[in-house]
Amino acid sequence: MISVIIPAYNERENVENTAKVIGNILRDNGTEYELLFIDDGSKDNTWEIIEKLAESDPSVRGLKFSRNFGKEGAIFAGLKNCVGDCAVVIDCDLQHPPELIPQMLKMHEQGYEVVEAVKASRGKESLLYKMFAKTFYRIMRTSSNVDLDRASDFKLMDRKVIDALNEMPERITFFRALSSWVGFRSGRIEFEVAPRKAGTSKWSFRKLVKFALNNITSFTNFPMQLVTGMGIVFLVFAVVLGIQSLVRFFSGTAQEGFTTVYLIILLAASMIMIGLGVIGYYISKIYEEIKFRPRYIISVDTKNRKDKDRNNDRNV
């Protein structure tokens, strides 16, 4: 049995079609499945549609968050609650082509415990977005030794991988990197990013920057290393400037004025403030972790509701 984990946030235009398309593909493939929709605090009627689907189709299950916890929380809620021997994480907008799921299942049968779908190209993205993405992946690769180039959240995982991810205690997670970090035998399959069938992307540039910063600081110490590197560069600059000043002083060619002093003070103050900012950011992340709050809160589970209705019917 395969579990298909589908995070959904304000996806009322896509939920019904997504369930239909994926269900048809898996039925035609003769695969037993469950579709697990996670409503990440949607503000539209996404949850109402998921509930109706769960009532009419026993293979559909829905989890509703008490508020918006983000895609990472939705993915890990799906991993925690799925019951399949393996699971696929896929976007609700079908930009991840569900037609690849049978191929991913075949690779799983061949012994691959993680099947990653990687982007053949980045699709229709702005130059700024592509540069931003490449910079982010380069930082992750050099600082954490995890190659996320062309990676996506679209991947199949064996139950062993799912259990390993569920055992991780951290609150601030980065699924795309953690699913590679755990290891296991991995295979890759390429896909072209499909255009959205309906609706609009929920990712603004501001959200992407925040997402990148959170993931870099939660998975690597690159910003700390960067500040240390800047400190070393400044130290070398100060030593060279100091030697130059002493040579001029003893040779009697030293010039009056405080331009150099001002420059050194400004550079030093800037370095100190940047360093304190980076340290403060990491401390805030430590603070978030030690509070040990849950990654998400589930307010409604259609499975529990179905079980309750069955019990009521028996009692009647």
Work out the pLDDT band at 139, boundaries 50, 70, 90.
low
Q: How far apart are CA 269 and CA 62, in angstroms?
A: 53
Instruction: Please give the pLDDT value at position 243.
Output: 74
Mean pLDDT of the chain: 77
Q: What is the 3-state secondary structure (H, E, C) of 221-265?
A: CHHHHHHHHHHHHHHHHHHHHHHHHHHHHHHCCCCCCCHHHHHHH
CA torsion through residues 31, 34, 40, 45, sign? positive
- Give the whole-number percent of the chain exceeding pLDDT 70: 68
pLDDT digits over 234-247, tens only?
A: 777 767 776 776 67
Read off the pLDDT of residues 39-76 as tens digits, 9 standing for 90 and up.
988 888 889 899 889 888 888 899 999 888 888 888 88
Maximum distance among all Cα pairs of the chain, rounded to whole angstroms: 105
Torsion of CA 231, 233, 235, 239, to 10 degrees: -170
Tell me what pLDDT residue 125 has: 58
pLDDT reading at 311 higher than 90: no
Residues making up the chain, counted from first to last: 316
Which among 212, 221, 216 has a CA at the least distance from the CA of 140?
A: 216
pLDDT > 90? residue 96: no
Per-residue model confidence (pLDDT) at position 315: 45
pLDDT digits (tens, 9 = 90+) for 10-21: 888 888 888 888
Check residue 200 and give its pLDDT. Answer: 56
Q: What is the pLDDT of residue 314?
A: 46
Q: Give the mean pLDDT of 162-170.
A: 86
Q: Is the model's pLDDT at 316 over the cut of 50?
A: no
What amino acid is encoded at 56 in this protein? Answer: S
Q: Under DSSP, is residue 183 helix (H, G, I), strand (E, B) or coil?
A: coil
Say which residue, 228 or 297, is predicted with more confidence.
297
Residue 127: Cβ-neighbour burial (10 angstroms; 0-12, 13-18, 19+):
exposed
CA 79/CA 294 separation, integer angstroms = 15
Quick one: tokens of 93? Answer: 């907008």
Give me the percent of the chain exceeding a pLDDT of 90: 7
Whether 270 contacts 234, CB under 8 Å: no
Q: Which residues of 18-49 are buried (b: 16+ CB within 10 A; e: fewer)?
A: bbebbbebbeeeeeebbbbbbbbbbeeebbeb
Q: What's the predicted TM-score (pTM) here?
A: 0.68
More confident residue, 255 or 216: 216
Comparing CA positions, the residue from 70, 107, 71 lying closest to residue 89 is 71
* Nearest one of 40, 39, 41 to 51, comparing CA atoms: 39
Q: Report the pLDDT value the prediction gives residue 36, as an integer from 0 to 100.
A: 93
pLDDT bin (cut points 50, 70, 90) of residue 4 is very high
User: How far apart, in whole angstroms, are the C-alpha atoms of residue 113 and residue 108?
Assistant: 6
First to last CA, the chain: 33
Inform me whether the pLDDT recorded for 254 exceeds 60. no
